[in-house]
Amino acid sequence: MSKIGFIGLGIMGRPMAGHLLDAGHSLVTVKRGTLDAALAEKGMQEVASPKEVAQVAEVIITMVPDTSDVETVLFGEDGVIEGLQPGTLVIDMSSIAPMQTQAFAKRITEAGGEYVDAPVSGGEGGAINAALTIMVGATDKGFERAKPLLEVVGKTITHIGGHGAGQTCKVANQIVVALTIEAVAEGLLFASKAGADVVKVRESLLGGLAQSKILDVHGERMIKRTFDPGFRIRLHQKDLNLALEGARSLNLSLPGTANAQQLFQACAANGGADWDHAGILRALEKLADHEVGE
């Protein structure tokens, strides 16, 4: 069993840490307010800084919101790198910029550690059910070291390629997810405005070529109007920014991605930055002056 430092106990990180504790690993985290009671009961310990986490852990997992957060945890004052032990495995499971990931991997490797980028897909439900899809960028050695731990929290684990490849795959994932959520929202809005029963429309679509996990999960959210996250719109906006910035550097046009980002921005402008990303429906409803189910 491993001594794991787990930094980032949010909507996703909290259940992931719980699974690792249930599997018999010992976990330590950075003290941030009151530790979740369930994790405390399972034996999770707290220290004052990422540096102290690195001083006692043989594996460090980060699950924080953005590229700048990972950089601060790893390389900021009292960061991981200041306490990094030779051979420490650093697994970043956040969703961040691929190019910066490559730079982070280089710095950790030069300091004597092993770096793995392993962003996830599957949302809160996937984290709770240990059924996440995990996209890995690593050396062959790093992947083999990380895989047993990733198998505790995930179901589909794919070694995409070298450092940064996992994050590139995650950006592609977020493009597909955003455009599919938008498509589901438009389809249900059209059906509703035309006077059809959207519950039956969704049921029918789930049996045909339009079937998808997003139609299943987020289509139901839209119909029931349950927009509590889930995965927050502001975080999906961050991921689409990564896609659009990457597209500019590649001289690549992503018009659908840009349109989805504008709809998310409309939600954020109307107080919806912390809605679940299925809340993109609300921006479309505002344009249509019609609410699904009316």
Secondary structure (DSSP) of 51-104: HHHHHH-SEEEE--SSHHHHHHHHHSTT-HHHHPPTT-EEEE-S---HHHHHHH
Is-cis flag, bond preceding 230, omega within 30? yes
Question: pLDDT per residue over 203-217, tens digit each?
Answer: 999 999 999 999 999
22, 81: one domain: yes
pLDDT over threshold 70, residue 101: yes
Look up residue 91 and give its amino acid.
I
User: Given this model, what pLDDT does residue 294 score?
Assistant: 65
**238/254 same-domain check:** yes
- What is the rounded distance in angstroms from the CA atom of residue 230 to the CA atom of residue 221? 10
DSSP class of residue 50 equals H
- Which residue out of 141, 170, 213, 286 is catalytically annotated? 170
Size of the chain, expressed as the number of residues it contains = 294
Largest CA-CA distance found in the chain, in angstroms, rounded = 65
CATH number of the domain within which 213 lies: 1.10.1040.10
How many whole angstroms separate alpha carbon 257 and alpha carbon 100?
Answer: 21
Residues 134 and 255 in one domain: no
Asked if 78 and 58 sit in the same domain, the reply is yes
Number of domains the chain contains: 2
Q: Tell me, yes or no, whether 87 and 172 share the same domain.
A: no
Question: In which residue are the tokens 């809005």 written?
Answer: 189
**85 Cβ partners below 8 Å, 6+ apart?**
54, 55, 58, 112
For range 132-145, the mean pLDDT: 98
Strand 120-121 and strand 132-137: the pairing is antiparallel
What is the residue range of 218's domain? 168-288
Strand partners, 115: 90
Q: Which among 5, 44, 3, 41 is positioned nearest to 25, based on CA atoms?
A: 3
When mean pLDDT is compared across 33-47, 128-142, 173-187, the lowest value belongs to 33-47
DSSP result, 210-263: T--HHHHHHHHHHHHT--S-SSBHHHHHHHHHHHHHHHHHTT---HHHHHHHHH
Same-domain status, 129 and 266: no
Q: Residue 213: what pLDDT?
A: 94
Last residue of a domain, one of 162, 188, 220: 162
Write down the mean pLDDT value for the chain. 96
**How large a percentage of the chain has pLDDT more than 70?**
100
Find, among 170, 206, 192, the residue nearest to 281 by Cα. 192
pLDDT of residue 157: 98
- Domain end, chosen from 162, 178, 193, is at 162
In a domain, 112, yes or no: yes
Establish if 294 belongs to a structural domain.
no
Domain end among 147, 162, 177: 162
With a cut of 90, say whether residue 121 has pLDDT above it.
Answer: yes
Please indicate, yes or no, whether residues 218 and 97 belong to a single structural domain of this protein. no
Active site residue 170: yes
Question: What average pLDDT does this structure show over 9-19?
Answer: 96
- Domain co-membership, 117 together with 256: no
121 and 199 share one domain: no
- Is pLDDT at 221 greater than 80 in this prediction? yes
Chain Cα centroid distance, residue 68: 15
CATH of the domain at 130: 3.40.50.720
201 and 275 inside one domain: yes
Other CB atoms within 10 Å distance of the CB of residue 243? 21
Residue 18 located in a structural domain:
yes
Give me the pLDDT at residue 102, please: 97
Residues 149 and 280 in one domain: no
The stretch 135-150 carries a mean pLDDT of 98
Whether residue 266 lies inside any domain: the answer is yes
- Spatial separation of the C-alpha atoms in residues 145 and 291, rounded to whole Å: 50
pLDDT classification of 176: cutoffs 50, 70, 90: very high
Residue 157 belongs to some domain of the structure:
yes
| Domain contains 19 | yes
Residue 293 belongs to some domain of the structure: no
Query: Is 128 within a domain?
Result: yes
First to last CA, the chain: 55
**Are residue 257 and residue 200 in the same domain, yes or no?**
yes
pLDDT surpasses 70 at 120 = yes
pLDDT at 116: 98
Neighbours of 221 (CB within 10 A): 20
Q: What is the pLDDT of residue 34?
A: 84
> In which band, very low, low, confident or very high, does the pLDDT at 293 lie, cut at 50, 70 and 90?
confident
Please state the pTM of the whole predicted model. 0.92
* Beta-bridge partner residues of 161: 137
